[in-house]
A and B are shown apart, each in its own frame.
Chain A
Amino acid sequence: EPEVTQTPSHQVTQMGQEVILRCVPISNHLYFYWYRQILGQKVEFLVSFYNNEISEKSEIFDDQFSVERPDGSNFTLKIRSTKLEDSAMYFCASRGDGSVGPQHFGDGTRLSIL
């Protein structure tokens, strides 16, 4: 069964540094998402992406965040200057075209900011 893959599985970074989290969505999917989940808390929507542009973003997704689909395969989330509170699990998800079907999630990147 096709799956969403994310790399790295764990990223440790100093506060203030830039990080790029990578995702390879399911190949025929057209809608892409990033979520984060702080330990012990709910899954929070960050951004959705369709047709090579952001379609929706949450209040969390401020100017420090950006997304890109550079090569038609990868879907990346960049955090420009990390803060301690960015420490969380980051999940990528994708879904196919047509009616609103479910999202399929990658197994996440654990981001630890020191």
Chain B
Amino acid sequence: RKEVEQDPGPFNVPEGATVAFNCTYSNSASQSFFWYRQDCRKEPKLLMSVYSSGNEDGRFTAQLNRASQYISLLIRDSKLSDSATYLCVVNLNTGNQFYFGTGTSLTVIP
């Protein structure tokens, strides 16, 4: 079983739409969770950390559900510039290894 799983998409949404991505992780001991975005042929860039109580940064909201072992990312009022691949990243508290999902591709259409 993969450590981190994401729906690869692609998600094609019109400008202004709300879109949500989910990510599941296999190890219940996982402690730290992040969403990164990656533009084509570029490095992953931190979008936001995911906290237990959920957190919001502008149009972006991240949620963590430990019981079901998934994290989510909600993007409101999508912009063209949101088009990218969104990577779910999980870390175990016992190790120094981060597990990446395959990424979910988003294209925002004018």
Contacts and interface: CB of A to CB of B under 8 A. Distances in A.
Interface string B71-110: 0000000000000000101010101111111110000000
A43 B96 contact: no
A76 B88 CA distance: 26
B103 A42 contact: yes
Contacts, number: 53
A38 B29 CA distance: 29
A75 interface: no
Given A43-B87, A91-B43, A107-B42, A100 B31 contact: yes
Interface string B3-17: 000000000000000
B96 A42 contact: no
B45 A100 contact: no
A45 B93 contact: no
A65 interface: no
Interface of A: 31, 33, 35, 41-45, 48, 50, 55-56, 58, 89, 91, 99-108
